[in-house]
A and B are shown apart, each in its own frame.
Chain A
Amino acid sequence: MSASVRRLLALAEWAGAVRVAAGGRGLDREVRRVSPITDPGAEHPLTAGELLTVVGPVDPGDWRLDALLRRAADAGGAAVLYRERGGEDVPLLATRMLADRLGMPLLVTGAGPLDLVVAARLALAVPELDGAELVMAAHRALGTRLHPPQEVAATLRALFHAPVAVLDERGEPLAGELAEPSQVRVDGPVPQRVELADGVLLAHPVLLPGATRPALWLATEVRGAEAAAAGILPPALAVAAGAVQRWLLAHRLETERDARTRTALLGDLLRLDGEPSADLRRRAADAGWPLGGWHVGIRVGTPSTLDNVARGPEVTRALRAEGIEAVVVEHGAGWTAWTTFDHEPTATRVRTLAAGLRAAHRELQRTMGAHMGVGRPHPLPDGLAGTIAEATDAARLAATRPETGRFLHVDQLGMAQLLLEWTRTDTFEPAARALLSPLHGIPGDLIHTLAAYLDAESSLAETAAVLGVHRNTVAARIDRVEHLLGVSLTHRDDRLALHLACRTVILAEE
């Protein structure tokens, strides 16, 4: 730490005891060290910022004072101080002229030079002591248990007596307040010091392991006279950033664990065939998921690179902002969600819901490349799987349809429109043909059998009736279809794709 010569002269121990004999032009020189030497000619390797104090008796006419001034000036020293012997013991004019010429302060004292050295050294150490104290205080306040970022910001605000804020990765304040948070350059994962018009802005990044971009920032603004002492804050800021990082990591661990449980539970619900077991019902109740009532499934798809565990709360927030209380589960690349009504929702309510969802989707699209699909209302636990399946299909379609804002709501009319629009595209028909091409030229009219089978909701008996063949024939053909296409017709994605493909190919033939 350092101070100017002028500042040392203002110390209680120095004021009145030390006078500037010459070289006043250099009073703003920076003092980094205060060293005692025995006499002006003493062997002493001089360093920049050194204030040399001659503690032994000095003859004011000693030429070595001149030489010392020169050596101090050459080494970038701060000043030369010596003790006068008697009252009228002024340095030679030559020495004073030299000090003036070199701009090297020549200080004279009548007091004990060693006391002055001690006082100056203590004064130089004060910022370091303050800094150490601040780090200790920050550690005491934040070191032992986990604190959410809001609490960390509040603690620092009290320690720094200055505004402190937690900024998110885009530089928006999450907690606390800052006048100029936009000054933080959020892309660089290094501590920053930004000079403001009347102060200084200090920011420390909170980095998660393996990440190149900071997850959060801790920033403070020091203004006015306090800004000069801002140098002591960064270490304490780093300690606090450590606390925030710990909180993030612990929190993340919790959410990850939670997300995995929820994803597993959702998987079990979607595979549900008939009434849920008591165990499943209990697990759903523990998670706070309503299984009774009417459900409307929602699927939010995202690019697979998106961290859906960390950003799940954003989805909940966006839905809640539209007055929609929904269960949101991290699922594949994105989220699967549903909202539940006690009774069958009226058409108006469904429309209101859809409008709300569309708004929420627009909000989400601002920060992530999300597409959304919404299913029809279905009752009871098995209805949940149905509406989610619809929502998932719709979302898949929505992803490819920018003209609908990458949002699709499956209601009856919508479904028909969807199919029509879908099959009219130039890209789909060749794709459908390609998909079904392995079935061409195989005996047994496999395409029509598959279409009828899917139209009959996978009922062998129904299909046999429609086609006028034996149900075993239908079963054999369907087996062959699955074998040739390498798909399983129990998989809803495959089923939907094949269903659409069949329709398209048959429509094209007609």
Chain B
Amino acid sequence: MRIAMPEVAALERGVSLLGSGGGGDTITAAALLRRQLAAGREITVTSCGELPPSAGVAPVGVVGATAVFTEKLPGGGEFRAAVAAMERWTGTPVAAAVSIEIGGLNGIIPLVAAADLGLATVDADLSGRGVPRLDQLSVAAVGRGLTPAVLAEPGGQVVLIDGGSAAEVERAARVFLAGTGGWAALVLAPVPAGELPGCAVLGTLGGALSLGRRALAAGENPDPAALAAATGGRVLALGRVAEVSRRLGPARYGRAGFGRGSVTVEDHATKELLRLEMENEYLLALRDGTPVASTPDILAVLDRRTGAPILCDVVRHGVEVAVLQLPAAPFWTDPARLPVLAPRAFGIDADPVLLPAAGGRATGRRLLPGPA
């Protein structure tokens, strides 16, 4: 599969929907992708099976403050430096790249990095949506671990972390990011292509592209039913944002935690109050006080007029929105992995409330194809 200029908009819409309100703004990433395309680079997306089983697939992405990424643009050498460091440390050549997180800018950046490095990108990712922490990536969820991991920040510093649990890698990365430029290119240990199906969410790049196409096809001011049909989810509310409240979340690793907040949408038709609890992503939806949807399902707040997803950090009072619930990747609804992304993993003491998964694959309503 090739990504050409016409596909960029659809891909952008798809990955921002999958971000569940997080994952960072995609404008810069999309601009970088367009620049690569304009420079004549080929953007190739290959399926996992097309690679030799032993080929090293390196998970790549941007970590840290995604807002800073937009202000402090990449110099262009970060991924090259990081991949070089990883190759040198492991002695394994990197044959292809895979996104660490399909939701948000990391759904696009690996394509840019791979094009720059002359690598193919595998149609998969390590999240299936937007996730806030490294220890929540699929490789960590299946117990594979994250190390060695390389961080390369725009200032030129490269750090390689080896050893330690996923949580410890997350902690070390945060400390490094706070002390440097705020964001860094991340490259994780290459996974042999043959092992990827067991530790990644497959088909997500193609899935995001297709979702984006369908969402764009619904047009501006989409009808709620059409919107639900196009995205394979359900509409939780159609109304106006009545309140956005932000506060500090509980501290983590002795530092201030992620900001917390809630968004309340008053439905025009029913007058019901839909309250979304958010951290970096929208995590829990309460309708008149009763939980009706939660992570790992994807909660998206769309601008009612343009249909564009509104990120947690820019949603504001008074906007007319539609709130959507999209089904989680089957990877996460497996009872063994559910706790990694369930509300309690975010300090929200509520049971997961998910769209029914039964028959999802058969009817084709599932947004993302599951692992083969």
CA distance A122 to B242 in the complex (A): 40
Cβ of B266 under 8 Å from chain A: yes
Residues of A within 8 A of B266 (CB): 97
Q: Which of A25-33, A58-66, A303-311, A470-478 contacts B (4 or more CB under 8 A)?
A: A58-66
Q: Which of A67-75, A175-183, A393-401 contacts B (4 or more CB under 8 A)?
A: A67-75
Contact, CB under 8 Å: B264 / A101:
no
- Min Cβ gap A283→B in Å is 88
Cβ < 8 Å to B, chain A residues 307-354? none
Contact, CB under 8 Å: A98 / B288:
yes
Contact, CB under 8 Å: B245 / A92:
yes
Residues of A within 8 A of B261 (CB): 61
CA distance A70 to B277 in the complex (A): 16
> Could you say which interface size class chain A belongs to?
10 to 19
Contact, CB under 8 Å: B242 / A97:
yes
Contact, CB under 8 Å: A94 / B271:
no
Contact of A63 among B242, B271, B275 (CB under 8 A): B275
Residues of A within 8 A of B286 (CB): 63, 66-67, 70
CA distance A89 to B131 in the complex (A): 31
CA distance A97 to B277 in the complex (A): 16
- Min Cβ gap B220→A in Å is 28
- Min Cβ gap B81→A in Å is 42
Cβ of A102 under 8 Å from chain B: yes
Q: Which secondary structure dominates chain B's binding surface?
A: strand
Contact, CB under 8 Å: B289 / A61:
no
CA distance A64 to B290 in the complex (A): 10
Contact of B262 among A63, A69, A70, A102 (CB under 8 A): A63
CA distance A63 to B285 in the complex (A): 10
CA distance A97 to B274 in the complex (A): 11
Contact, CB under 8 Å: B273 / A98:
yes
CA distance A68 to B288 in the complex (A): 11
- B234-251 vs A: 1/0 string, CB under 8 Å? 000000001101010000
Contact of A102 among B242, B247, B288 (CB under 8 A): B288
> For residue B317, which residue of chain A has the nearest CB?
A93
Cβ of A188 under 8 Å from chain B: no
Residues of A within 8 A of B199 (CB): none
- Min Cβ gap A64→B in Å is 7
Contact, CB under 8 Å: A93 / B264:
yes
Residues of B within 8 A of A67 (CB): 286, 289-291, 350
Quick one: given A63-B286, A70-B289, are A94 and B262 in contact (CB under 8 Å)? yes
CA distance A92 to B317 in the complex (A): 13
Contact, CB under 8 Å: B242 / A61:
no
Cβ of B50 under 8 Å from chain A: no
Quick one: given A67-B291, A69-B289, A102-B288, are A94 and B260 in contact (CB under 8 Å)? no
Contact, CB under 8 Å: A94 / B290:
no
> For residue B246, which residue of chain A has the nearest CB?
A61
- A142-164 vs B: 1/0 string, CB under 8 Å? 00000000000000000000000
> For residue B283, which residue of chain A has the nearest CB?
A63
Residues of B within 8 A of A93 (CB): 242-243, 245, 264
Residues of B within 8 A of A98 (CB): 273, 275, 288-289
Contact of B284 among A41, A63, A71, A101 (CB under 8 A): A63
> For residue B277, which residue of chain A has the nearest CB?
A63
Quick one: given A63-B286, A66-B289, are A101 and B273 in contact (CB under 8 Å)? yes
- Min Cβ gap A54→B in Å is 14
Contact, CB under 8 Å: B288 / A101:
yes
Residues of A within 8 A of B288 (CB): 70, 98, 101-102
- Min Cβ gap A286→B in Å is 85
Cβ < 8 Å to A, chain B residues 274-319? 275, 277, 284, 286, 288-291
Contact of A61 among B262, B271, B273, B284 (CB under 8 A): B262
Return the 5 tightest CB-CB contacts between A and B, nearest first: A70-B289, A94-B264, A93-B243, A66-B289, A63-B277
Given contacts A67-B291, A70-B286, A94-B243, 11 further A-B contacts (CB under 8 A): A41-B349, A61-B260, A61-B262, A63-B275, A66-B286, A67-B289, A70-B288, A94-B262, A94-B264, A98-B273, A98-B289
B residues adjacent to A (C-beta < 8 A): 242-243, 245, 247, 260-262, 264, 266, 271, 273, 275, 277, 284, 286, 288-291, 348-350
